[in-house]
Structure 1
Amino acid sequence: MEPTTAVTQFTTAEPSDLTEFVLVQGHGVKGLSDMGLKTLPKQYVQPLEERPSSFKVVPHDHLQQYSIPIIDMANWEHPDVADAICDAAEKWGFFQVVNHGVPLQVLQNVQAATYRFFELPPHEKIKYSKEYSPSNNVRYGSSFSPEKEKALEWKDYISLFFVSEDEVATTWPPACRDETLEYMKKTETVIKRLLKVLMKRLNVKEIDETKESLLMGSKRINLNYYPICPNPDLAVAIGRHSDVSTLTILFQDKTGGLYVRANDGSKLWIHMPPVSGALVINIGDALQIMSNGRYKSVEHRVTANGGKVRVSVPIFVNPKPSDVIGPLPEVVASGETALYKNVLYSDYVKHFFRKAHDGKQTIEFSKV
Structure 2
Amino acid sequence: MAPSFTNNKELKTFVFDDGHGVKGLSELKIETLPELFIQPYEKRLDMSKVVHHESIPVIDMSNPDDPEVMKHICDAAENWGFFQVVNHGVPFKVLDDVKDATKRFFSLQADEKKKYLYKNCPTKNVRLVSSFIPEVDKAYEWKDYLSCFYVSDDEAFAYWPSVCRDQLLEYMKESEPLIKTLLKVLITRLGISKLDETNEPFLMGSRRMNLNYYPICPNPELTVGVGSHSDVSTLTILLQDETGGLYVRKLNSDNWVHVPPIKGSLTINIGDALQIMSNGRYKSIEHHVVANAHENRISVPLFVNPRPSDGIGPLPQVIVRGETALYKHVLYSDYVKHFYRKSHNGKDTIEFARV
TM superposition score normalised by structure 1: 0.95
In the alignment, what sits opposite 2:50? 57
Give me the whole-angstrom Cα distance separating, in 1, the residues matched to 2:195 and 2:261. 32
In the alignment, what sits opposite 1:96? 84
In the alignment, what sits opposite 2:13? 20
Change in Cα spacing, 1:165 to 1:325, as seen in structure 2 (3 Å) is same
Counterpart selection for 1:332 from 311, 316, 319: 319
Give me the whole-angstrom Cα distance separating, in 2, the residues matched to 1:54 and 1:364. 27
Cα distance per residue 1:18-48 (max 9 Å; x no partner): 2110111010000001110110010000111
In the alignment, what sits opposite 2:36? 43
Give me the whole-angstrom Cα distance separating, in 1, the residues matched to 2:180 and 2:199. 12
Q: How far 1:253 sits from its partner (Å)? A: 0.3
Is contact 1:259-1:271 (8 Å) kept?
yes
Match for 1:191: what amino acid?
A: I
Counterpart selection for 2:152 from 164, 168, 172: 164
Counterpart selection for 1:145 from 133, 141, 153: 133
Give me the whole-angstrom Cα distance separating, in 1, the residues matched to 2:199 and 2:322. 21
Match for 2:263: what amino acid?
A: S
Partner SS, residue 159 of structure 1: strand
Q: How far 1:95 sits from its partner (Å)? A: 0.0
Give me the whole-angstrom Cα distance separating, in 1, the residues matched to 2:205 and 2:162. 25
Give me the whole-angstrom Cα distance separating, in 2, the residues matched to 1:76 and 1:197. 9
Give me the whole-angstrom Cα distance separating, in 2, the residues matched to 1:342 and 1:311. 35
Cα distance per residue 1:280-335 (max 9 Å; x no partner): 00000000000000000010010000000000000000000000000000001121
Deviates more, 1:128-137 or 1:320-329: 128-137
Identity, % of aligned pairs? 62
Q: Check if 1:84 corresponds to 2:77.
A: no
Where structure 2 has 5 or more consecutive residues not aligned to the other structure, the ranges are: none
Is contact 2:180-2:195 (8 Å) kept?
no
Give me the whole-angstrom Cα distance separating, in 2, the residues matched to 1:55 and 1:190. 36
Q: Check if 1:246 corresponds to 2:234.
A: yes
In the alignment, what sits opposite 2:57? 69
Give me the whole-angstrom Cα distance separating, in 1, the residues matched to 2:265 and 2:44. 28
Give me the whole-angstrom Cα distance separating, in 2, the residues matched to 1:87 and 1:260. 17
Cα distance per residue 1:266-293 (max 9 Å; x no partner): 2001000000000000000000000000
Give me the whole-angstrom Cα distance separating, in 2, the residues matched to 1:190 and 1:94. 15
Q: How far 1:207 sits from its partner (Å)? A: 1.9
Cα distance per residue 1:131-189 (max 9 Å; x no partner): 11121100011010112112100000100000000111111000111011111111000
Q: How far 1:54 sits from its partner (Å)? A: 6.2
Give me the whole-angstrom Cα distance separating, in 1, the residues matched to 2:178 and 2:79. 21
Q: How does 1:1-368 map to 2 (within 5 A)?
A: 2-3=1-2, 6=3, 9-10=4-5, 13-53=6-46, 56-58=49-51, 60=52, 63=53, 66-263=54-251, 265-368=252-355
Is contact 1:48-1:54 (8 Å) kept?
no
Give me the whole-angstrom Cα distance separating, in 2, the residues matched to 1:148 and 1:115. 28
Match for 1:230: what amino acid?
A: P
Cα distance per residue 1:211-262 (max 9 Å; x no partner): 1111000000000001100110111000000000000000000000000000
Cα distance per residue 1:76-96 (max 9 Å; x no partner): 011000000000000000000
Is contact 1:90-1:295 (8 Å) kept?
yes
Is contact 2:23-2:215 (8 Å) kept?
yes
Give me the whole-angstrom Cα distance separating, in 2, the residues matched to 1:212 and 1:282. 18
Is contact 2:156-2:165 (8 Å) kept?
yes
Deviates more, 1:83-92 or 1:129-138: 129-138
Cα distance per residue 1:61-118 (max 9 Å; x no partner): xx1xx22100000000110000000000000000000000000000000000000000
Alignment: residue pair count:
355
Match for 2:19: what amino acid?
A: G
